[in-house]
Amino acid sequence: MSRNNLHNEIEIRAFDYERDLPSVKRIWREVGWVDEDEEKMMDDFFACGDTVVATMNGEAECSVHIVDGSLRLQETDLPLCAVTAVTTSRIARGHAFAKRLTAQQLAASAERGAAVAALGMFDQGFYDQLGFGSGGYDHQLQFDPGTLRVDHRVPTPRRLSADDFAAVHSALVGRHKVHGSVVLNPPQFIKAEMGWSEGGFGLGYFERETLTHFMWFSGKAERGPYSVEMIGYRNTAELLELLGLLKSLADQVYAVKIVEPPEIQLQDLLDRPFRNRALTRGSTLSAEHRTFAWWQLRMLDVPACVAAFSDAATDLALQVDVRDPLNDMLPDGSAWQGAGGSYVLRLGPRSSAEPGTDSSLPQVRCSINALTRLFWGVAPASSLAVTDEFSASEETLAALDRAIRLPIPHTGWDF
């Protein structure tokens, strides 16, 4: 695809590693994602996954990188397209490259069998235009590790470095998973992420040569804060052992930052959290508790996603008309034209969504953004009717609230 615009020859094509990587590195430096010392990790990052670029006069000026993986809905791991980097140079703004290339990548992934897509957002709003809706809130706590009320006498861990990326990846793949858990398939993706951690280091435990549970940190200051960038464990006993390991750092480290594990309410394990928050307010080592939604997701295959939802609290049948903005964005030649359309939705012990209409059923009109948030338990139907594009009768909203009761999804993997 090419055209002339203001004397710039524009082309959208597949990424050529040798030819395009220097230009993409330049883009990342321009937008402040890396400096010259950090950009070497991009070699591993772009060696995995799939990338498309938009070029102007032969130089890559926008790139969209994706990797394959899985995203869990209840007990089912659905094929995932993870959009892991969308970057546009300073001179290529205003051409809608980011939107066009991301749409192209989503379509290609859907054609390859991906049922759902997810990404980490720079801010809420832009990716809504591509059918994404925000995921669940994460709780991030910063605290003095010495205030952890865990009494585990922990064994001595082994050091981990970026050279252990394959073991770390295997531990993350084999970790305990909950509703919303993400796995990204390429081990090289983890290698790059570990390399980008400022002052990165890891501590972990092995059974023979298998890494079973670990934490990967960033942080260089003597007293902290240290930030837990990755954590993996197979059960709550291993989680408590890792929290005990955190506490063992308290002789030197005055603050650690961690996203709350989904199995516990971390505040329950902190000694006098409100007092410590008040006493440390204003310090770089302060006790803090922040809540935010940093990721978004959207269905690519509505029937596949709905089929993964089982054991609805009540049986329910609906006629659902879904609007997908990608239906109007993709070229006519695309085999996948978005997930919008009319579906007969049946919820019960085994749920289904079949293309078609049934005027005798209660009617729902919604965006793919809102439908995805509903089926991952981010928000109930009655809330989506207030904040999102989701329209139904009061009776239907109440019936959906009764039928779909899910925990808040947690990815357990930053991307």
pLDDT digits (tens, 9 = 90+) for 186-235: 999 999 999 999 999 999 999 999 999 999 999 989 999 999 999 999 99
Decide if 2-114 and 139-292 have a common fold. yes
pTM, full prediction = 0.94
Amino acid at 361: L
Calculate the average pLDDT of the chain: 95
> What's the 3-state SS for 205-229?
EEECCEEEEEEEEECCCCCCCEEEE
What would be the CATH architecture of the domain defined by 301-403?
Answer: 2-Layer Sandwich (3.30)
* Nearest one of 309, 392, 395 to 347, comparing CA atoms: 309
pLDDT digits (tens, 9 = 90+) for 15-66: 999 999 999 999 999 999 999 889 999 999 999 999 999 999 999 999 999 9
User: CATH top-level class for 139-292?
Assistant: alpha beta
pLDDT digits (tens, 9 = 90+) for 248-263: 999 999 999 999 999 9
Give the whole-angstrom CA distance, residue 260 versus residue 269. 11
Q: Where are the beta strands (DSSP E) in 348-395?
A: 352-355, 363-367, 390-391
Most distant CA atoms of the chain, gap in Å: 68
pLDDT digits (tens, 9 = 90+) for 89-102: 999 999 999 999 99
Pairing of strands 288-292, 133-134: unpaired
What would be the CATH architecture of the domain defined by 2-114?
Answer: 3-Layer(aba) Sandwich (3.40)
**Helix, strand counts (H, E) of the chain:** 11, 21
* Sign of the alpha-carbon dihedral angle for 326, 331, 333, 334: negative
Amino acid at 299: M
Task: Give the residue extent of every domain in the chain.
Answer: 2-114, 139-292, 301-403
Give the whole-angstrom CA distance, residue 137 versus residue 139. 7
Task: Write down the pLDDT at residue 153.
Answer: 79
